Amino acid sequence: MDIFQFFWSTLAWTATVAVLFPLNVPMAALAFRIWRETKETDVEGSELWIRSSVGSFGVAVVCAVFVALDYVLADLAEFPAGPIHIIAFAGFVAVACWVMFYVFSFEDYLQGVSLTIIYLFLPLIALFILNAMLGVLSESLRFWDPVVNLAKYCLKNPTP
């Protein structure tokens, strides 16, 4: 598998998880609880839900902006699609980490990185594995493929 194909698919899969704003609010709260483990925190109740909502919405907006930027550069400006997908994915992850860092008022950027990994990539891995396992049983059971194909429609295929 080509590195450009990998980042094209990774950006599409990540975009499908990141833009599910209303559904991701509980996931952001759960990611914060997982990240904090059993330690006491000053973020409880309604404040946690407000921060989770703002963080989830912020990550969804950032994802939409980077997918749109990818579309403009790769499709309209006709830059090579492969490197643009890598830059868009790296930029999206970096800004999403900053959004989580800022919204949850962390002391360190790496705390935002760890929360973003829990928030975005654990559900992404679970969806990917579940989709693949169901696809082994029957190709028609791959329930997430239409959503990923919708995201891939916005992203130019890096292979000519």
Model pLDDT for residues 52-99, shown as the tens digit of each residue:
999 999 999 999 999 999 999 998 988 999 999 999 999 999 999 999
Tens-place pLDDT, residues 40-59: 777 778 888 999 999 999 99
Tens-place pLDDT, residues 102-138: 999 889 999 999 999 999 989 999 999 999 999 899 8
Q: Cβ distance 134 to 142 under 8 Å?
A: yes
Count of CB atoms within 10 A of residue 60's CB?
Answer: 20
Q: Cβ distance 145 to 128 under 8 Å?
A: no
Q: What is the DSSP letter of 117?
A: I
Instruction: Report whether pLDDT(21) > 70.
Output: yes
The band of 159, judged by pLDDT with boundaries at 50, 70 and 90, is confident
The band of 160, judged by pLDDT with boundaries at 50, 70 and 90, is low
| pLDDT for the residue 78 | 87
CA distance 147 to 133: 17
| pLDDT for the residue 101 | 95
